[in-house]
């Protein structure tokens, strides 16, 4: 019985994590750039991203802890998503912001670094979305959810 409770709670938190990440990526971020002037949009997104990564990372960490009581593989997948989010927040985003500032100041080398860093952040985010989708699929196939 306890196994099932942790598995279901992990499923709910994982679905919440995926939903929050998709909502931000597909609704919030595009709307900010559509509705706000470019300079304001960039500044707003820069302030919003640390919160995005913090919330998604903490939700994924919560899912990982819940899965630790029911399925080790699921716990590892969720932990990887959490690690990627928190690593992006603490390491990658500050560096991307620094390169962006240098780029706006006219540093052409920083421009290519910014583009590479931004691509890396997009790929990490896409990998997280795929892993969360796989995780939900795995749990959906488990006997607990039948």
Greater pLDDT, 70 or 81: 81
Q: Which among 87, 19, 27 has a CA at the least distance from the CA of 53?
A: 87
Secondary structure E strands in the chain: none
Total-model pTM: 0.92
Q: What is the mean pLDDT of the chain?
A: 94
The mean per-residue pLDDT over the stretch 125-135 comes to: 97
Coil, helix or strand at residue 70: coil
pLDDT of residue 110 exceeding 70: yes
Is the per-residue pLDDT at 1 higher than 80? Answer: no
Is the pLDDT at 145 greater than 80, yes or no? Answer: no
Among candidates 120, 13, 7, 6, which has minimal Cα distance to 58?
Answer: 13
Do 132 and 17 contact (CB within 8 A), yes or no?
yes
């Amino acid at each position: 019985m306890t196994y099932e409770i942790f598995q279901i709670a992990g499923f709910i938190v994982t679905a919440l994590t995926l939903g929050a990440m998709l909502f931000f990526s597909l609704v919030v971020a595009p709307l900010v750039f559509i509705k706000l002037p470019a300079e304001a949009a960039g500044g707003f997104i820069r302030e919003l991203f640390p919160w995005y990564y913090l919330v998604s990372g903490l939700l994924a960490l919560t899912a990982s802890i819940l899965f630790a009581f029911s399925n080790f593989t699921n716990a590892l997948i969720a932990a990887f998503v959490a690690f990627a989010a928190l690593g992006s927040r603490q390491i990658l985003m500050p560096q991307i912001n620094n390169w962006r500032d240098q780029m706006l100041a006219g540093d052409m080398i920083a421009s290519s670094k910014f583009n590479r860093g931004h691509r890396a952040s997009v790929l990490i985010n896409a990998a997280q979305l795929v892993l969360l989708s796989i995780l939900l699929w795995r749990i959906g196939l488990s006997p607990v959810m039948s």
